[in-house]
């Protein structure tokens, strides 16, 4: 079993990204794997879950201890993991890293490490919100990216909800996660 924590985006960014994902699928058949979960900003990579009750307790603690914070969705970007021509393409929105986001990320993954929950966390984690991924080769994603006339977004909003995504699949395959739980942040 694996899980991850994420902030949910506001309706403006949700609607913007879903329209882009929908239009990309219509023209390029990219699929909706990333749209199976609410639009979100992942707070770090997935981690192994040995005891879901323990993870849920920590999730509840996070929701109680985090105050709503401002995030800035900067722009649309295309990341290719692995080989530049044959790797794994991800169309996403870059999130401006802030001191608060990085500290929260570090706090979460320190807790995960202390509890021996396996993860692929690294200090180079990029805050982002995925629009579309996989299903088509890198060349198609490069065409999609090129076709987006305005890549700059510069939209700020206050994060008000946190989500816990889980899968019973230990291999963390795409499309196997569910939104297990959503909570409002403290003082929301």
Q: What is the mean pLDDT of each run of 10 residues along the chain (188 residues)?
A: 94 96 93 88 89 94 93 97 89 96 91 75 81 91 96 97 90 80 88
Q: How far is CA 46 from the centre of its chain?
A: 10
> Smallest Cα–Cα separation from 3: which of 134, 160, 130, 177?
177
Q: How far apart are the first and last CA of the chain?
A: 30
Q: SS3 for 62?
A: helix
Could you tell me the pTM of the whole model? 0.91
Q: Find the helix packing angle between 11-28 and 138-147, rounded to 10°.
A: 120
Other Cβ atoms within 10 Å of 121 Cβ, number: 18
Instruction: Return the pLDDT at 123.
Output: 61
Domains of the chain: 2-184 (3.90.1140.10)
> Smallest Cα–Cα separation from 163: which of 72, 54, 21, 56?
56
**Angstrom distance (rounded) from CA 107 to CA 101:** 10
Instruction: Return the pLDDT at 13.
Output: 97
């Amino acid at each position: 079993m694996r899980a991850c924590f994420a902030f949910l985006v506001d309706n403006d960014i949700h609607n913007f990204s879903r329209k882009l994902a929908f239009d990309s699928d219509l023209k390029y058949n990219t699929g909706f794997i990333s749209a199976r979960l609410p639009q979100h900003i992942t707070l770090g990579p997935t981690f192994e879950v040995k005891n879901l009750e323990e993870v849920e307790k920590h999730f509840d603690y996070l929701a109680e201890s985090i105050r709503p914070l401002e995030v800035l969705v900067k722009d649309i970007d295309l990341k290719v993991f692995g080989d530049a021509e044959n790797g794994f393409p991800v169309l996403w929105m870059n999130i401006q890293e802030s001191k608060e986001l990085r500290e929260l990320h570090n706090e979460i993954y320190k807790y995960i490490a202390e509890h021996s929950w396996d993860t692929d966390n690294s200090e180079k984690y990029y805050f982002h919100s995925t629009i579309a991924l996989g299903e088509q080769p890198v060349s198609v994603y490069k065409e999609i990216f090129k076709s987006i006339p305005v890549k700059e977004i510069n939209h700020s909003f206050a994060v008000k909800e946190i989500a816990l995504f889980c899968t019973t699949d230990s291999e963390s395959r795409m499309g196997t996660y569910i939104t297990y739980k959503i909570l409002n942040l403290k003082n929301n």
